[in-house]
Amino acid sequence: MKCFNHSKKDAVGICKSCGRGLCSDCAVDLKNGLACKNACEDQVKILNKMLDMNEKVMSTSNRNLKITGYFGLISGILFIFLGYYFLRNLEAIVGAIFIILGVAYLVSSILRLSRTSQFPAAGDKN
C-alpha cells in the first residue's frame, strides 16, 4: 500500500481514524494507533480515550457484579443455615421461608456470577 498523500512512498501504517495509508512523514504515533499528521490526531486521541474509558467501565462493572454475586452466595448459604436452625428449633414455617429465600439468593447469584464470565477481562483483548 502507498501513502495517501505521497503516491510514491510506501505506507508504514493506517490512520486509526480515517483508515488512509500513511508514510513515515505523514504518520503520528499515538501510543496505540497511528494518525494523519495535523488532520486526525485529535480524533484518534479522543478515540483512544474512549476505548480506555470503556475498558475501565467494563472491568469495574465486572468486578461489581462479581462482588454482589459472591455476597449473594454467602447470604444465601447463611439464610439456608438459619432456616435449617429455625426448622429444627423454632418455627417450621419461618425456617421454610428462610430456606426458600436462601435458595433464591443462591440461584440468582450463581446466575449473576456465570454472566460475569462472559465479559472479557480488561487487558486480554484479541
Residues at the contact surface with Zn ion, assessed by CB under 5 A: 3, 5-6, 15, 17-18, 23, 25-26, 36, 40
Closest to Zn ion by CB, 46 vs 90, is: 46
Is there a contact between 117 and 87 (Cβ–Cβ < 8 Å)?
Answer: no
Cell numbers 436462601 correspond to: 102
HSE value, Cβ hemisphere, 13 Å, CA-based, for 119: 20
What CA–CA distances, in Å, run from 36 to 7, 27, 67?
15, 5, 43
Considering the complex, what minimum distance in angstroms separates the CB of residue 36 from Zn ion?
3
Q: CB of residue 119 vs Zn ion: minimum separation in angstroms?
A: 31
Q: How far is the CB of 125 from Zn ion (least distance, A)?
A: 22
- Closest contact distance (angstroms) between CB of 49 and Zn ion is 17
Nearer to Zn ion, 27 or 99 (CB): 27
**Closest residue by Cα to residue 66 from 4, 5, 8, 119:** 119
Closer to Zn ion at the Cβ: 15 or 106?
Answer: 15
